[in-house]
Amino acid sequence: MSYEWDSDLETGHEIIDKQHKEMFAVLNELLDAHRAGRGVKELSKTMEFLTAYVIQHFADEEKLQDMYDYPDKLNHKTYHNEFKHTAKELVQKLENEGYSDALLQNTIRIIADWLVYHIKSDDFRLAAHVQTMLKSEKK
């Protein structure tokens, strides 16, 4: 199984979509590493990358929300903070329990499920708002 990026996940915002695609690519690299027996080494590396990358991605989204006075920015930021907490818990679990196939599969599932849900709900609403604001600026 791998996570495929398709047009149903595009928000229409180039930077945000590029970052989302990168997160999908990293998850798929982790899956490939797991299949090749390199999951132990790759899980820690992937979690470090995703933790840092997600922080940057969320900061970019929140900057966009501020630029376009997004009315739901407090809730959106709350969702971001909840995911940061979830990511920290996964890293902590890896540190405390060590690598296992179950932990790897659970980590990938949690990240991928959250990412797809967040894109299709929260990020789509943000992108629609930005598009509306851009259209009204052109008038």
Predicted pLDDT of residue 62: 94
Predicted confidence band at 128 (pLDDT cuts at 50, 70, 90)? very high
Q: Cβ distance 131 to 12 under 8 Å? A: yes
Please name the residue that has the structure tokens 């590493």.
33
Is residue 59 a contact partner of residue 34, using CB atoms and an 8 Å limit? no
Question: pLDDT for 5-40, tens place per residue?
Answer: 888 999 988 888 999 999 889 888 888 888 888 877
Q: Residue 139 — very low, low, confident or very high, per pLDDT cuts 50/70/90?
A: low
* Structure-block tokens of residue 21: 């695609």
Is 0.85 topped by the overall pTM? no
- The per-residue pLDDT for 60 is 93
Query: Under the phi-then-psi rule, with left for phi > 0, alpha for psi from -120 to 50, and beta for the rest, what region is 69?
Result: left
The span from the CA of 9 to the CA of 20, in Å, is: 9
Helices and strands in the chain: count of H runs, count of E runs = 5, 0
pLDDT above 90 for 134: no
The model's pLDDT over 58-100, given as tens digits with 9 standing for 90+, comes to: 999 999 999 999 999 999 999 999 999 998 898 898 889 888 8
Looking at residue 48, its pLDDT comes to 83
Torsion on CA atoms 12, 15, 85, 117, rounded to nearest 10: 20
